[in-house]
Amino acid sequence: MAIEHAILVSLLERPGSGYELARRFERSIGYFWTATHQQIYRVLKRMENDGWVEALVVPQHGRPDKKQYSVADLGRAALTSWLHDPIEPETVRHDLAVKIRGAAFDDPSALIREVERHRQAHADRLAHYLAGEERDFGRRTDSGPYGPDDAERELQHAVLRGGIAYERMMIAWLDDVLATLHRFRDDHFRDDRFRADAPSADPSSADRAAR
Amino acid sequence: MAIEHAILVSLLERPGSGYELARRFERSIGYFWTATHQQIYRVLKRMENDGWVEALVVPQHGRPDKKQYSVADLGRAALTSWLHDPIEPETVRHDLAVKIRGAAFDDPSALIREVERHRQAHADRLAHYLAGEERDFGRRTDSGPYGPDDAERELQHAVLRGGIAYERMMIAWLDDVLATLHRFRDDHFRDDRFRADAPSADPSSADRAAR
DNA sequence: TCCTGCTATGCAACTTGTTGCATAAGCAAG
DNA sequence: CTTGCTTATGCAACAAGTTGCATAGCAGGA
């Protein structure tokens, strides 16, 4: 009961086909809301039946026709209603945190590579965000008073800043976790049950995406 | 295909009934992995059939019997296997971020209260985490070398530090978002379509959970 | 005394989300 | 000229998660 709203917002920002939406859900929007193309097509069809969106069939050169969706009045009303609804439970699922706690019942140092991989993924995403920020919000061209068109831009930037803050936090925390895991392996933790077989180099504070 | 692992970790840390697990999923573990009691009971039953956990029926005074679950060898093996599996897609869903971007197509200042509510929830959770940290990890009693029993404790602390970092980041970001929303309302953003009717006081940097 | 809330477990129905597969045409590389 | 990638949409089956309800006894307050 919420993917609809993510789609509405995306279509209000720019109309597009199901396929284009699916690609957006792999990039910008997808970083704080995931959805596969199957789900998008299904929900889009339901939204069309409910009159939330309107489809315009665009014939194309050779390729199959695409349906260009845009938000109808009913959809806009539904979004407004949702925006004013105070609900929001905030459900989180961090596999990695489960793994870290679970590592206590296995060889903790076996998790080092996994955590490093995740750290790398977050560093990559951070770099991507920062590049996007520079590109889209580099310098304010007009520093005059805000108009209604600036709201979209400003709010997108605010969400992007959230993504940047999140990735920075994750990188710092994963460095913390890595330090903890290394401490077990290197100095103190010795247990017959486990043995560290691959002494990987310490990556402590090697790189750190700055700005 | 992952709630099983959260349950295994929780049961390894301490055996318990389905009900107790459900309560843990409202507290400690629940902050990075949500699950309702229905889900837990169902999964627990499947895990018992698969030989991952063993149930010991404990008769109680008057109340219905409870089943004390503990992890069996097969379950431990399953956990180990999962821990060594390098998968991890990291799927995130932030309703609030969708709302913030959606606010561009409604009155942005109408979202202020909602964001404030979320900020409060994160501040509360942070306070709860910090209290738990002080209670459980206040001062190291033994500063000697690590034994295998310390791994559990240390890794739980590392995960808790992640939760603390997350809440701090969220509070800072929501303050950022609030500042953006206030800018629209107070000074620059004037649009016939919307009007701010309730001039709520500016909560900028009123409180800030420190440490 | 009745009403609410807590412990404790569970079924049934429903909604969401995932995975596998199918179609179909163009375009580029080998 | 065949193989694989990209655009573009969709069905069907399955897995996971949510919601509503039911049971049942005991404890504490109105």
Query: pLDDT tens for residues B12-34?
Result: 999 999 999 999 998 888 888 88
SS3 A200: coil
Residues A59-85, mean pLDDT to the nearest whole number: 88
**Predicted confidence band of residue A91 (pLDDT cuts 50, 70, 90):** confident
Q: Highest-confidence range of A52-66, A155-169, B135-149, B175-189, by mean pLDDT? A: A155-169
pLDDT value at residue A11: 96
CATH architecture assignment, domain B3-84: Orthogonal Bundle (1.10)
Contact, A78 CB vs strand C, < 7 Å: no
Q: Which residues contact B16 (CB under 8 A, 6 or more apart)?
A: B10, B24, B68, B69
Q: Is the pLDDT of residue B203 over 60?
A: no
Contact, A63 CB vs strand C, < 7 Å: yes
pLDDT value at residue A147: 57
- Does the beta carbon of B189 lie under 8 angstroms from any beta carbon of chain A? yes
Residues 49-78 of A with CB within 7 A of strand D: 60, 63-67
Residues B136-141, mean pLDDT to the nearest whole number: 76
Q: Is the pLDDT of residue A199 over 80?
A: no
**Bridge partner residues of A54 (DSSP):** A70
The count of other CB atoms within 10 Å of the CB of residue B185 is 20
Return left, alpha or beta for B51; rule: phi > 0 is left, psi -120 to 50 is alpha, else beta.
Answer: left
Q: Is the pLDDT of residue A3 over 80?
A: yes
Q: Taking Cα atoms as reference points, which of A31, A34, A71 lies closest to residue B106?
A: A71
- Does the beta carbon of B34 lie under 8 angstroms from any beta carbon of chain A? yes
The C1' atom of D2 and the CA atom of A20 lie apart, in whole Å, by 29
Residues B80-90, mean pLDDT to the nearest whole number: 85
**Predicted confidence band of residue A185 (pLDDT cuts 50, 70, 90):** confident
Q: Which residues contact A118 (CB under 8 A, 6 or more apart)?
A: A96, A170, A174, B88, B90
Residues A185-209, mean pLDDT to the nearest whole number: 48
pLDDT value at residue B198: 43
Q: Is the pLDDT of residue A28 over 70?
A: yes
Residues A82-98, mean pLDDT to the nearest whole number: 85
Pairing of β B53-58 and β A66-71: unpaired
- Does the beta carbon of A177 lie under 8 angstroms from any beta carbon of chain B? yes
- B188 vs B88: which has the higher pLDDT: B88
In this complex, which of B88, B110, B177 lies closest to A83 when CB atoms are compared?
B110
Could A104 and B176 be called an inter-chain contact, meaning their C-beta atoms sit closer than 8 Å? Answer: no
Sequence ranges of the domains in chain A: 3-84, 95-186
**Predicted confidence band of residue B193 (pLDDT cuts 50, 70, 90):** very low
Residues A157-164, mean pLDDT to the nearest whole number: 96
Residue A58: which H helix or E strand, with range?
Answer: strand A53-58
Is residue B101 packed enough to be buried (19+ CB in 10 Å), middle (13-18) or exposed (0-12)? buried
Q: A29-43, A116-130, A154-168, B55-69: which has the minimum mean pLDDT?
A: B55-69
Torsion of CA A39, A42, A46, A48, to 10 degrees: 100
**CA separation for the pair A10, A2 (Å, rounded):** 13
Instruction: Report the gap between the CA of B141 and the closest CA in chain A (Å).
Output: 16
As a residue count, chain A comes to 211
**CA separation for the pair A29, A23 (Å, rounded):** 9
Residues A82-93, mean pLDDT to the nearest whole number: 82
User: Helices B112-137 and B148-183, interaxial angle, to 10°?
Assistant: 160
Which chain B residues touch A90 with a CB distance below 8 Å?
Answer: 95-96, 118, 121
**CA separation for the pair A76, A78 (Å, rounded):** 5
pLDDT value at residue A149: 66
In this complex, which of B103, B162, B183 lies closest to A173 when CB atoms are compared?
B162
**CA separation for the pair A20, B206 (Å, rounded):** 43
Could B98 and A187 be called an inter-chain contact, meaning their C-beta atoms sit closer than 8 Å? Answer: no
pLDDT value at residue A1: 62
The C1' atom of D17 and the CA atom of A139 lie apart, in whole Å, by 44
Q: A3-12, A75-84, A142-151: which has the minimum mean pLDDT?
A: A142-151
Mean pLDDT of chain B: 84
**Predicted confidence band of residue B184 (pLDDT cuts 50, 70, 90):** confident
Q: Which residue has the tokens 């704080």?
A: A32
Which chain B residues touch A99 with a CB distance below 8 Å?
Answer: 5, 82-83, 88
Mean pLDDT of chain A: 84
- A195 vs A62: which has the higher pLDDT: A62
The count of other CB atoms within 10 Å of the CB of residue B202 is 13
**CA separation for the pair B10, B4 (Å, rounded):** 10
- Does the beta carbon of A133 lie under 8 angstroms from any beta carbon of chain B? no
Q: Taking Cα atoms as reference points, which of A206, A205, A189, A202 lies closest to residue A103?
A: A189
Q: Taking Cα atoms as reference points, which of B88, B58, B69, B153 lies closest to residue A96?
A: B88
SS3 B64: coil
Q: Is the pLDDT of residue A207 over 60?
A: no
In this complex, which of A6, A79, A86 lies closest to B105 when CB atoms are compared?
A79
Chain B contacts in chain A segment 35-74 (CB below 8 A):
none
Residues B147-171, mean pLDDT to the nearest whole number: 90
**Predicted confidence band of residue B141 (pLDDT cuts 50, 70, 90):** low
Contact A173/B162 with Cβ under 8 angstroms? yes
Displacement of CA A93 from its chain's centroid (Å): 13
Q: Is the pLDDT of residue A80 over 60?
A: yes
